[in-house]
Amino acid sequence: ETGVTQTPRHLVMGMTNKKSLKCEQHLGHNAMYWYKQSAKKPLELMFVYNFKEQTENNSVPSRFSPECPNSSHLFLHLHTLQPEDSALYLCASSQGVRSNQPQHFGDGTRLSIL
């Protein structure tokens, strides 16, 4: 398998559930990212990891908890989410976090909060 793989592709959960999104990259990259994509809004950068260390947390609510056990895997743990959290969650990776190193995206997890 190549590229960036995200699972599951679709997730429906209640506000009191706990679930996790998984991302795996097979590109040998050192940086990984979580983005939120909502209709008619810009992609919102949520978290950045470089060599497994979190380097950016863009004021994301604590109900989203990232985990990066190694440079190839990234998780987003979800708990007590709100209806406004329904969106497409995209994972991306890049060789490093320098601006000219392009990000490669997965196909996302479509999250629906009931």
Contact residues: other proteins, CB under 8 A: 4, 33, 40-43, 45, 48, 55-56, 90, 92, 97-100, 102-108
Please, what is the minimum distance in Å from the beta carbon of residue 67 to other proteins?
19
**Cβ 16 to other proteins shortest distance, Å:** 29
Ordered DSSP codes for 76-106: EEEES--GGG-EEEEEEEESSSSTTS--EE-
Q: CA 107, CA 5: separation in Å to the nearest integer? A: 7
Q: How far apart are CA 51 and CA 4, in angstroms?
A: 17
The smaller minimum CB distance to other proteins, of residues 47 and 64, is found at: 47
In whole angstroms, how close is the CB of 98 to other proteins at the nearest point?
Answer: 6
